[in-house]
Amino acid sequence: MIDLKLLRENPDLVRQSQRTRGEDPQLVDELLAADEKRRRAIATADDLRAEQKAFGKKIGQASAEERPALLEGSSELKLKVKQAQEEQKAAEDEVAAIQYRLSNIVEGAPAGGEENFIEIERVGEIPSFDFEPKDHLELGEKLGLIDMTRGSKVGGARFYYLTGDGAFLQLGMMMLAAQKAREAGFQLMVPPVLVRPEIMSGTGFLGEHSDEIYYLERDDMYLVGTSEVALAGYHKDEIIDLADGPIRYAGWSSCFRREAGSHGKDTRGILRVHQFDKVEMFSYCKPEDAAAEHQALLNLEKDMLAAIEVPYRTIDVAGGDLGSSAARKFDNEAWVPSQQTFRELTSTSNCTTFQARRLSTRYRDEQGKTQTAATLNGTLATTRWLVAILENHQQADGTVVVPEALRPFVGKEILE
């Protein structure tokens, strides 16, 4: 959630952020009005409590004759205090409800929707084949790497098996990502994939896209769509030590997405599926260090993409295509020969203090005062990468060259 102090001091900034996202700026005025009502309710309740305390002292000092009348007045005052406290809680609940509807303040992202991104750079040469390139599913099935038919039989549409060298190829990617993360100062974690509602809500995933999330009603638990959720909840209600710089984690987990809004999109192959594995970077830092940390995460993603030797471009995602918790997001999109276009492989988001404020994750500044931390996340490897690896490294005879960095894990130079 956003900082109410910032909202009061600069409401136009928040209104402009809403416009950049294509969301309703009127929500800002609703929150300002609710906040003013809350502050009045707090003041009224505080005054009545102070009056009640003073009245209690008066009763204690009163004579036996005066006390019955004072006690009657005390009962009336007690009812007023109770009513004021109930009004205060109702006002606070209204503020919280509106706060949870308001997205993070955009920082530097272009305005517009999905197509209004800004391309920052392109890296690598788009392959030129002297044959008709196959798509990743045809390659994967012929080489015994992917089995969609049996995946659908067992789990339904958009499920699959990675088999043989396909499994090793994914494990190799994940191990390489884990190693690079550790070398960069990240602590590797295998986090829970089931989380409580307050953790899912705290990270901003229970807004308008909540239909993308698997919910286990009997247990009141959610399956995570990214280990960002569990890593964000790791320090809930804690004061962390950022005196020596950011705290960095890399979560390796399976992830689950309903893909509820993707009917008919990318139904072939493993580009858009219900279950996949991922190594996700997650950083806690001071807000003033967040922009630099964001660039560091982006550079690590680019280092991994260089290791798997695929051409890609980096884009600055437009405000209307940001998740509610992200203030800014960079995507790296790899070239997919069968589609003759770039498709997203990684995202890295700066969530500023939005998530940590919801989850009450704080640190102490130089004066010892508690402040809200900033959080950031970024993909370091995921199952979808197999699409770009297979298609960009295919050869005329239907074999696939294994990127050199993955050969120690796969145990082969050529998949055939």
Q: Cα separation of 124 and 403, whole Å?
A: 14
Among candidate residues 301, 347, 349, 358, the one labeled active-site is 347
15 is catalytic: no
C-alpha closest to that of 328 among 295, 284, 363? 295
183 is catalytic: no
Among candidate residues 21, 38, 362, 384, the one labeled active-site is 384
Among candidate residues 74, 344, 364, 407, the one labeled active-site is 344
- Which residues, 6 or more positions from 132, have their beta carbon under 8 angstroms from its beta carbon? none
67 is catalytic: no
Annotate 352-381 with b (16+ C-beta within 10 A) or e (fewer).
Answer: bbbbbbbbebbbeeeeeeebbbbbbbbbbb
174: number of Cβ within 10 Å: 20
344 is catalytic: yes
Q: Cα separation of 369 and 361, whole Å?
A: 13
* Numbered residues of the known binding site for L-serine: 226-228, 257, 280, 377, 379
Q: Cα separation of 145 and 171, whole Å?
A: 13
17 is catalytic: no
* Numbered residues of the known binding site: 226-228, 257-259, 273-276, 280, 344-347, 377, 379
Both tokens of 286, joined, read 């001071």
Longest dimension (CA), the chain: 107
Among candidate residues 158, 257, 328, 357, the one labeled active-site is 257
Q: What are phi and psi of 318, to 5 degrees?
A: -70, 155
* Numbered residues of the known binding site for ATP: 257-259, 273-276, 344-347
Among candidate residues 19, 272, 313, 364, the one labeled active-site is 272
DSSP β-ladder status, 247-256 and 187-189: parallel
Both tokens of 41, joined, read 């309710």
Active site residues: 257, 272, 344, 347, 384
